[in-house]
Structure 1
Amino acid sequence: MIKQLLGGLLLIATTAFSQQKVSDMETIQQQNKAAIIHFYEDILNQRKFAQLDGLISLEYANSQGGSGIQGFIQSAQTVLQSFPDAQWSLSLVMAEGDKVFVKQTMQGTHQNTFQHIAPTHKAVTSEGTAIYTFKNGKIISHEVQTDRLGFLQQLGAIPADITSTNKRNQVYFIDKFIVPSAAISEFTQKMNYNRTFIQKLEGFMGDKVFQHQEPNGQYSVITVATWKNQECLDNAKTQVQAEYKRIGFNPAGFYQQLHIQMERGIYQGND
């Protein structure tokens, strides 16, 4: 009887402890969500950046090499330099564990140069997603993904109508590089070699390069190459790889050696 009683008390205690842990986690998640909403509505939209001290952890670091408060806010400050009236809104905020996921929309007017694109004074809208990771109530990392193609189209950097009959099959090959300042000269040399080579290939329609130096000294470089269709792009990839082999160039090793980060996107018009 005593054993049964002790067993029952232990079960009750264990259940109560588990329920308390769940309750505590839900509370933390709600606090993290509230912190992100506060960041967008007050700190970002009202430019109250002094309040970041209470939101960003000293341990903060991102994939672009940024750290601390400046590393966290530098991308937004770059946008604000070119779009001084920019405002962000949230259509979705979800919390799970130590992470908060948001769907965001930025609206602003292109009033100053943005990555070598002269002011167009156009009103633009950029949609995207972001994931924020918390530790002890503060952000320690975050990742943002935006519609880069749509953004460049709105600025007129690439054609806005890629679905017309004569452009329906065109493919846009877009790379974004984060290049340390010490590596920009060597990177530019390799990039120009590649641009010269692909311009001679069948199906090449044109290319553009956008470059901007971030506050931390790193360079953000976006390259946009337009191809007649996917087949031409695939053939070009094969020929580029053959050329790299001929000259003994290993892109992956090159990026790793110079600490260059790359993101790639391929976009095509739809019927």
Structure 2
Amino acid sequence: MNEHENATQMRRLFEQAWTDNNLDVVDEIVDEEFVFTRGGGVQEGGSELYKDLIRHTREMFPDMEYSLDEVIVGDGGDAVTVRWTVTATHEGEYMGIEPTHQTIEMEGLELNRFEDGRLVEACTHPHWEGFLEDVGVLPLDD
């Protein structure tokens, strides 16, 4: 695949899988060797892991909608960096925080790697402070 095709695949994942909850698209794009990293923790599990990440997130934020603010392709098209914003209502426990029913907006940066047109690795860096401010946990010092 060329660099534009991998960027298109990332857009499909965010629009169709994350926002529209169409998990079938995950099997088309995510490799069985897929690895996910967030906050220093590494998880392996292929496309089923990717689907579980969506399901788990949707339990907490059932109406989540992602927008892709920037998509940058590098490394001959195999590396796709995405700057995203998610808007959602906090309806389930998240990071030990009971549902607040507040609308949140959280930004993040995700580094993705493709091999032979399949997503094999994602390393995401959400801006947790924005979420914590939206649900009233921050600022801790008033």
**Matching residue of 1:46:** 20
Separation in 1 of the partners of 2:46 and 2:19?
Answer: 20
**Matching residue of 1:65:** 43
31, 34, 39: which one pairs with 2:8? Answer: 34
Deviations 1:108-167 (A, max 9, x none): 00112223211111000000111110001000001110111221121122327x6xxxx5
80, 83, 91: which one pairs with 1:103? Answer: 83
Per the TM alignment, residue 57 of structure 1 is displaced from its structure 2 partner at its CA by 0.8
Separation in 1 of the partners of 2:131 and 2:44?
Answer: 24
Size of the aligned set, in residue pairs, is: 136
Structure 1: where are the runs of 5+ without partners? 1-26, 168-271
The structure that is helix-richer by fraction is: 1
Per the TM alignment, residue 66 of structure 1 is displaced from its structure 2 partner at its CA by 2.5
Give the TM-score, by structure 1 length.
Answer: 0.47
Separation in 2 of the partners of 1:145 and 1:122?
Answer: 22
For the residue of structure 1 that corresponds to 2:125, the secondary structure is: strand
Structure 2: where are the runs of 5+ without partners? none
Give the TM-score, by structure 2 length.
Answer: 0.87
Bigger-Rg structure (1/2): 1
Separation in 2 of the partners of 1:87 and 1:140?
Answer: 24
- Does residue 130 in structure 1 map to residue 110 in structure 2? yes
The structure that is strand-richer by fraction is: 2
Please tell me whether the aligned partners of residues 35 and 46 of structure 2 are also in contact (alpha carbons under 8 angstroms): yes
Deviations 1:196-253 (A, max 9, x none): xxxxxxxxxxxxxxxxxxxxxxxxxxxxxxxxxxxxxxxxxxxxxxxxxxxxxxxxxx
- Does residue 144 in structure 1 map to residue 124 in structure 2? yes
CA pair 111-62 structure 1, distance change in 2 beyond 3 A: closer
Please tell me whether the aligned partners of residues 66 and 72 of structure 1 are also in contact (alpha carbons under 8 angstroms): no
Per the TM alignment, residue 70 of structure 1 is displaced from its structure 2 partner at its CA by 2.2
